């Protein structure tokens, strides 16, 4: 089957499921529709990286395009969408909101659709619209529980991200303006056209436009200091939505930064584009580390961990070279799997103990031996310990940075990762082995719906940590090559 | 239409409309009443619609007439109407607690314009465009951006924040009309529709805020910290 048909099915499935969910108005049918759509999307996304030639293909008059980087990001997204859809079945039934549940699944499928569609957008302006739409759809998912806290989180989310992303639009317009001196007043603003015109563009315009785009999409990625919406939105939304926000949405926005980084490098700005990204990445790690150590909310802990990991991905792209780019893309996949696992575990624990406060969650291992171990393994993995995938990808990114210009960033990164390792696992030590207060026993038993996606996330994580297939490596390295002509 | 060989009349007309929009952004900055913000925003949108039509006429971009008409319809009529409906439902007529006095805000806004001017001049001189409308377009675009952010920072009513966001977008739209009038029509149309959805979403969210939090002032949104 050709890549074009697969992309059509991949995007049609969540779109149809979303509309059907509104029409049927039955919570059980809506959850089945969404689950089926996510499964179809995943099955279509799985072979996509193998079908795409390294040069990429375009469809629909050049508005839709797929290359190896896009296929990879979409694969990460579709995995999270599938896992979150499985988990949502069990989790959302417990919320007791069956009356509105079809709306939840319609929005959830819409969220899946927009995050899956974003990387395929070949026109820079349309990509911006796709990212904007992800915000609008997910705002209502964040606000779904109608608690005062989730309203506040949703408001801050849409406000901060819309304002931030308008900077990306300004940057996009400036890029178009810069290109119009090379390509004439009217041209199709595709990634390839901008990249092709970049070497002849004016440096001042490209610098300004690149910084605006970096800050704009960086807001959406949650790079510090534009991260302020992220802990609120991630902690107050229902757990499956948190997983989607963290594992899928952040990657989709990071993909834009990746594309613009390629354009800025092609424009010949020297080391500046990478340096800017490395600076944001380091700052994100620092903010993540500081807030993880003293964190009191379990889901906020996971949210700050997302900021940290997006910082790591930014560092990987910033360090550059085949090692850096491949490491960062690999890290995206590992983080998507692992953060889904962590949010699912956090959701289960939150339901069981009826609180988000780490201080009131005690004796997890005694009450939930199997799931507790699973979650603990995930916690060890997310802090970058072997034998899990994140260890490999973080190590690769560090190796990429070991060159005179960025060695300082590698040392800072190593130190902060150690701080995060200690701080993060200390919370888990407290939750697992600290003495319990009397009368605090967790109530509800969790169903298979909530355990299965955790296993599904952990298994590949372990495999990817022990075995990085040579084909996968050459695939990711070819993405690096296609992005950086002539850069070692 | 190369920007260097623009008819002087056209150039001054574009300049006049751009300055008018900037002035209206200052009107928004200097007022405390939500209704005034709204009227200033609507007037600003009309100025931008006129600008689109003028560019269509002088620059021979017929498709910009459509953009002008839709700008007038969406930004000039439907958006203000939607926001007006939200204001009607709330019992808030003005910013109650002042974070920054309007006069101080306007002085800061003036500094922003000076900063934007120096940045624009620097960029335009790279293209040898420092004597053309491009400087003004860039200046207005960047300074409306900065003023919009200032409004987001010092205003706390939900409606003023939505309007601040719309000022951000207006600035980009205005600048792009002058700088890149040849930008494909599709993108401009999609951005226009997108804005409509944004405001509709904000409308729903403001209602939620009022119903479930009991306030529409961001000063009271301080449960989530750390």
Residue pair B21/B44 in contact (Cβ under 8 Å)? The answer is yes
User: For chain A, what is the largest distance between any 2 Cα atoms, rounded to a whole number of angstroms?
Assistant: 74
SS3 B206: helix
CA distance A405 to A427: 35
Q: A339 lies in a domain?
A: yes
CA B11 to chain centre: 21
The answer as to whether B60 is a domain residue is yes
Residue A103 belongs to a domain: no
Check CB contact under 8 Å for A166 and B218: no
Helix (H) or strand (E) holding A59: strand A57-59
Count structural domains, chain B. 1
* Residue B200 in domain: yes
3 state DSSP class of A121:
strand
Residue A124 located in a structural domain: no
Q: How many C-beta atoms surround the C-beta of residue A351 within 10 A?
A: 18
Query: Which A residues 220-279 touch B at CB under 8 Å?
Result: 231-232, 235-236
Pull the structure tokens for residue A318: 């910033």
Domain housing A432 = 276-488
| B196 lies within 8 A of chain A by CB | no
Give the residue from chain A lying closest to B214, CA to CA. A148
- Our count of domains for chain A comes to 1
In a domain, A359, yes or no: yes
CB contact under 8 A, A147 and B208: no
**Closest CA–CA distance from residue A302 to any residue of chain B (Å):** 13
In a domain, B224, yes or no: no
Per the domain annotation, does B87 fall within a domain?
Answer: yes
Contact B165 A163 (CB under 8 A): yes
Q: In whole angstroms, what is the distance from residue A265 CA to residue A276 CA?
A: 12
Nearest to B154 by CA among B58, B76, B20, B37: B37
What ipTM, to 2 d.p.?
Answer: 0.94
Q: Do residue A181 and residue B152 have CB atoms under 8 angstroms apart?
A: no
- CB crowding A170-185: b at 16 or more within 10 Å, else e: bbbbbbbbbbbebbeb
Determine the structural domain holding residue B15 and report its residue range.
Answer: 3-218
Residues in B closer than 8 angstroms to A146, CB to CB, are 208, 212
pLDDT in tens, chain A (488 residues): 588 899 999 999 999 999 999 999 899 999 999 999 999 999 999 999 888 877 778 888 888 989 899 999 999 999 999 999 999 999 998 888 888 999 999 999 999 999 999 999 999 989 999 999 999 999 999 999 888 889 899 999 999 999 999 999 999 999 999 998 898 888 888 998 898 899 999 999 999 999 999 999 999 999 989 999 999 999 999 999 999 999 999 999 999 999 999 999 999 888 899 999 999 999 999 999 999 999 999 999 999 999 999 999 999 999 988 899 999 999 999 999 999 999 999 999 998 888 899 998 988 888 888 889 999 999 999 999 988 999 999 999 999 999 888 999 999 999 999 999 999 999 999 999 988 876 667 766 667 888 899 999 999 999 998 988 888 888 888 888 877 543 33
What are the backbone angles phi and psi of residue A361, rounded to the nearest 5°?
Answer: -100, 110
Of A149, A156, A185, the CB nearest to B182: A185
Does residue A280 lie within any of the structural domains? Answer: yes
Residue A126 lies in a domain: no
For residue B129, give how far its alpha carbon lies from the nearest alpha carbon of chain A (Å). Answer: 12
CB-based burial of residue B9 (10 Å sphere; 0-12 exposed, 13-18 middle, 19+ buried)?
A: exposed
Q: Identify the bridge partners of residue B157 per DSSP, sorted by sequence position.
A: B217
Q: Which residues pair with B33 in a beta bridge?
A: B94
Determine, yes or no, domain membership for B226. Answer: no
Give the CA diameter of chain B. Answer: 57
Which phi and psi angles does A147 have, rounded to 5°?
A: -75, 160
Find tokens 């355990």 and name the residue: A451
Would the CB atoms of B224 and A153 count as touching at under 8 Å? yes
Sign of CA dihedral A343, A347, A348, A353: positive
Task: For B18-79, give the DSSP string.
Answer: HHHHHHHHHHHHT--BHHHHHHHHHHHHHHHHHHHHHHHHHHT-THHHHHHHHHIIIIIIIH
């Amino acid at each position: 089957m050709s890549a074009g048909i697969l992309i059509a099915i991949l995007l049609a499935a969540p779109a149809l499921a979303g509309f059907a969910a509104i029409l049927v108005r039955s919570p059980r049918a809506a959850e089945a529709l969404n689950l089926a759509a996510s499964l179809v999307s995943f099955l279509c996304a799985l072979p996509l990286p193998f079908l795409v030639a390294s040069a990429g293909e375009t469809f629909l008059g050049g508005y839709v395009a797929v290359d190896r980087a896009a296929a990879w990001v979409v694969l990460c997204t579709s995995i999270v969408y599938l896992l979150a859809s499985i988990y949502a079945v069990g989790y959302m039934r417990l919320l007791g909101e069956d009356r509105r549940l079809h709306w939840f699944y319609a929005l959830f499928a819409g969220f899946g659709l927009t995050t899956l569609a974003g990387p395929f957008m070949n026109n820079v302006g349309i990509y911006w619209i796709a990212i904007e739409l992800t915000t609008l759809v997910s705002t209502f998912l964040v606000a779904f529980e109608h608690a005062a806290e989730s309203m506040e989180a949703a408001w801050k989310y849409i406000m901060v991200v819309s304002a931030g992303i308008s900077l990306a639009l300004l940057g996009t317009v400036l890029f178009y303006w810069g290109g119009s001196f090379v390509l004439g007043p009217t041209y199709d603003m595709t990634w390839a056209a901008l990249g092709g015109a970049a070497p002849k563009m004016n440096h001042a315009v490209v610098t300004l436009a690149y910084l605006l785009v970096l800050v704009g999409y960086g807001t959406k990625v949650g790079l510090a200091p534009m991260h302020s919406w992220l802990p609120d939105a991630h902690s107050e939304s229902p757990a499956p939505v948190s997983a989607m926000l963290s594992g899928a949405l952040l990657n989709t926005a990071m993909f834009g930064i990746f594309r613009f980084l390629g354009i800025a490098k092609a424009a010949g700005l020297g080391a500046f584009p990478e340096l800017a990204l490395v600076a944001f990445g380091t700052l994100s790690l620092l903010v993540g580390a500081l807030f993880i150590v003293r964190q009191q909310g379990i889901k906020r802990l996971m949210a700050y961990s997302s900021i940290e990991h997006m910082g790591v991905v930014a560092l990987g792209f910033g360090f550059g070279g085949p090692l850096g780019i491949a490491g960062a893309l690999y890290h995206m996949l590992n983080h998507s799997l692992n953060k889904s696992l962590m949010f699912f575990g956090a959701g289960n624990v939150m339901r069981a103990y009826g609180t988000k406060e780490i201080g009131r969650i005690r004796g997890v291992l005694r009450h939930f031996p199997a799931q507790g171990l699973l979650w603990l393994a995930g916690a060890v993995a997310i802090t970058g310990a072997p034998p899990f995938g994140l260890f490999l990808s973080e190590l690769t990114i560090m190796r990429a940075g070991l060159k005179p210009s960025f060695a300082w960033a590698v040392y800072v990164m190593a130190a902060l990762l150690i701080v995060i390792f200690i701080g993060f696992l200390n919370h888990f030590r407290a939750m697992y082995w600290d003495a319990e207060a009397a009368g605090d026993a967790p109530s509800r038993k969790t169903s298979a719906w909530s355990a299965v996606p955790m296993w599904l996330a952990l298994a590949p994580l372990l495999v990817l940590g022990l075995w990085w297939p040579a084909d996968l490596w050459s695939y990711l390295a070819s993405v690096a090559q296609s992005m950086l002509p002539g850069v070692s | 239409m190369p920007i260097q060989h623009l008819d002087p009349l056209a150039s001054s007309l574009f300049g006049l409309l751009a300055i008018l929009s900037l002035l209206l952004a200052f009107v928004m900055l200097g007022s405390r009443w939500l209704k005034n913000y709204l009227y200033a925003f609507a007037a600003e949108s009309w100025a931008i619609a006129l600008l689109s039509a003028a560019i269509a006429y002088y620059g021979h971009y017929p498709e910009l007439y459509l953009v002008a008409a839709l700008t007038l319809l969406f930004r000039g009529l439907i958006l203000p109407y939607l926001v007006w409906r939200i204001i009607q439902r709330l019992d808030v007529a003005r910013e109650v607690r002042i974070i920054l006095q309007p006069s101080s805000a306007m002085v800061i806004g003036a500094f922003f314009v000076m900063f934007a001017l120096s940045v624009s001049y620097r960029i335009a001189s790279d293209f040898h465009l420092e004597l053309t409308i491009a400087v003004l377009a860039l200046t207005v675009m960047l300074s409306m951006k900065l003023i919009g952010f200032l409004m987001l920072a010092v205003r706390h009513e939900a409606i003023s924040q939505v309007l601040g966001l719309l000022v951000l977008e207006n600035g980009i739209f205005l600048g792009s009309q002058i700088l890149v009038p040849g930008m494909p029509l599709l993108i401009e149309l999609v951005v226009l529709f997108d804005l409509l959805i944004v405001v509709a979403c904000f409308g729903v969210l403001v209602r939620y805020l009022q119903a479930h939090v009991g306030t529409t002032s961001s000063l009271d949104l301080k449960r989530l910290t750390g």
